[in-house]
C-alpha cells in the first residue's frame, strides 16, 4: 500500500482506479496484503495519470491494456505468476 518491497514473491492482483474509486478503493487492500498478495492500482488509458486517450468504457483497447498489465505483473521477479 505504501510501495514497500515485500521481500518475497507473491501472487498479484490489480484494480482499475476509476472503478475502484467509485466502489471505495482500498477497502479490501489491507486484507489482500495480509494474505501476501502484491497489489497494483492501474489508471485506465486516458484516465488519472496514464498516457493515451480514452475511447470509451469497455472498448477493445481497454481489454488489451488489461491483458498487457496482467502479463507484465505476472512476469515480475517478485510475482509468483499467479493471478488473483
Neighbouring C-beta atoms of residue 31, cutoff 10 Å: 9
- More reliable by pLDDT, 1 or 27: 27
The predicted model gives 17-22 an average pLDDT of 53
E strands, 10-84, in order: 10-16, 38-42, 79-83
The predicted model gives 45-66 an average pLDDT of 75
* Single pTM value for the model: 0.60
Domain residue limits, the chain: 1-45+56-63
All cell numbers assigned to 2: 505504501
The yes-or-no verdict on residue 75 having pLDDT over 70 is yes
Amino acid at each position: 500500500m505504501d510501495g514497500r518491497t515485500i521481500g518475497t514473491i507473491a501472487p498479484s492482483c490489480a484494480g482499475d482506479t476509476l472503478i475502484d474509486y467509485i466502489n471505495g478503493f482500498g477497502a479490501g487492500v489491507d486484507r489482500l496484503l495480509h494474505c501476501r498478495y502484491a497489489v497494483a492500482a492501474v489508471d485506465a488509458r486516458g484516465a488519472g495519470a496514464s498516457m493515451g486517450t480514452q475511447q470509451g468504457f469497455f472498448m477493445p483497447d481497454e481489454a488489451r491494456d488489461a491483458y498487457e498489465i496482467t502479463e507484465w505483473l505476472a512476469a515480475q521477479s517478485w510475482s509468483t505468476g499467479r493471478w488473483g
